[in-house]
Amino acid sequence: MKNILLIMPYGSVGGMERLALTFYNHYKKEGYQVKALKFIKLNSDIINFGEDELFFKPYDFNEMSPFERMAFYLKAPLMLRKIIKENKTTHSIAFGDMANLFSSLTFTNEFKIGSIHALKSVEFVNKTFFNSVFKLSYKTSYKYINKVVCISQAIKNDLINNYNYKFPNLEIVYNPHNVKDVIRLSSEPITEEKEKEIFSKKTIVFLGRLSIQKSPWHLINAFSMVKKIIEDVNLVIIGDGDIKVIRYIEGLIKEAGLQNNVFLLGRKSNPYKYLAAANVLALSSHYEGTPNVIVESIATETPIVSSYCTKGIIELMSLKNYEEQPENIILESGIVTPNLFKGALGIPEEKIIIKEEEKFSNALVQVLENTQFETNLKEAKDKLLSKFDLDFVANKYLEENQ
Q: How confident is the model at residue 247 (pLDDT cuts 50, 70, 90)?
A: very high
pLDDT at 40 over 60: yes
Which stretches within 6-115 are classed as H helix? Answer: 15-29, 66-86, 97-104
Measured in whole angstroms, the distance separating CA 28 from the mean position of its chain's CA atoms is 23
The 3-state secondary structure of 325-376, one letter per residue: CCCCEEECCEEEECCCCCCCCCCCCCCCCCHHHHHHHHHHHHHHHCCHHHHH
Mean pLDDT of 257-285: 96
Mean pLDDT of 57-80: 95
Q: How confident is the model at residue 311 (pLDDT cuts 50, 70, 90)?
A: confident
Distances (CA, A) of 22 to 149, 257, 313, 358, 361: 16, 39, 21, 36, 33
pLDDT at 333 over 80: yes
Distances (CA, A) of 165 to 130, 170, 362: 18, 9, 39
Question: How much is the pLDDT for 42?
Answer: 92
Q: How confident is the model at residue 344 (pLDDT cuts 50, 70, 90)?
A: confident
What is the rounded distance in angstroms from the CA atom of residue 55 to the CA atom of residue 52? 10
307 half-sphere exposure, CB direction, 13 A CA radius: 28
Query: Do the first three CATH levels of 3-173 and 180-387 match, i.e. the same topology?
Result: yes
Question: How much is the pLDDT for 328?
Answer: 97
Measured in whole angstroms, the distance separating CA 302 from the mean position of its chain's CA atoms is 17
Question: How much is the pLDDT for 402?
Answer: 52
Q: Are the C-beta atoms of 275 and 203 separated by less than 8 Å?
A: no
Mean pLDDT of 232-249: 95
Question: How much is the pLDDT for 290?
Answer: 76
pLDDT at 212 over 80: yes
Q: How confident is the model at residue 147 (pLDDT cuts 50, 70, 90)?
A: very high
pLDDT at 113 over 90: yes
Query: Residue 32 pairs with which residues in a beta bridge?
Result: none
Does CATH place domain 180-387 in 3.40.50.2000? yes
What is the rounded distance in angstroms from the CA atom of residue 97 to the CA atom of residue 130? 10
Question: Would you kindly state where each structural domain of the chain is located, as residue ranges?
Answer: 3-173, 180-387
* Percent of the chain at pLDDT exceeding 90: 79
* 159-208: pLDDT as tens digits: 999 999 999 999 999 888 888 889 999 999 999 999 999 999 999 999 99
Q: What is the mean pLDDT of the chain?
A: 94
- Of 136 and 152, the structure prediction assigns the larger pLDDT to 136
What is the rounded distance in angstroms from the CA atom of residue 355 to the CA atom of residue 351? 13
Q: How confident is the model at residue 13 (pLDDT cuts 50, 70, 90)?
A: low
Choose from 6-20, 48-62, 281-295 the range with maximum mean pLDDT: 48-62
| Homologous superfamily in CATH for domain 3-173 | Glycogen Phosphorylase B; (3.40.50.2000)
pLDDT at 335 over 90: yes
Q: Are the C-beta atoms of 15 and 117 separated by less than 8 Å?
A: yes
pLDDT at 401 over 80: no
pLDDT at 86 over 80: yes
Mean pLDDT of 105-122: 94
Question: How much is the pLDDT for 386?
Answer: 85
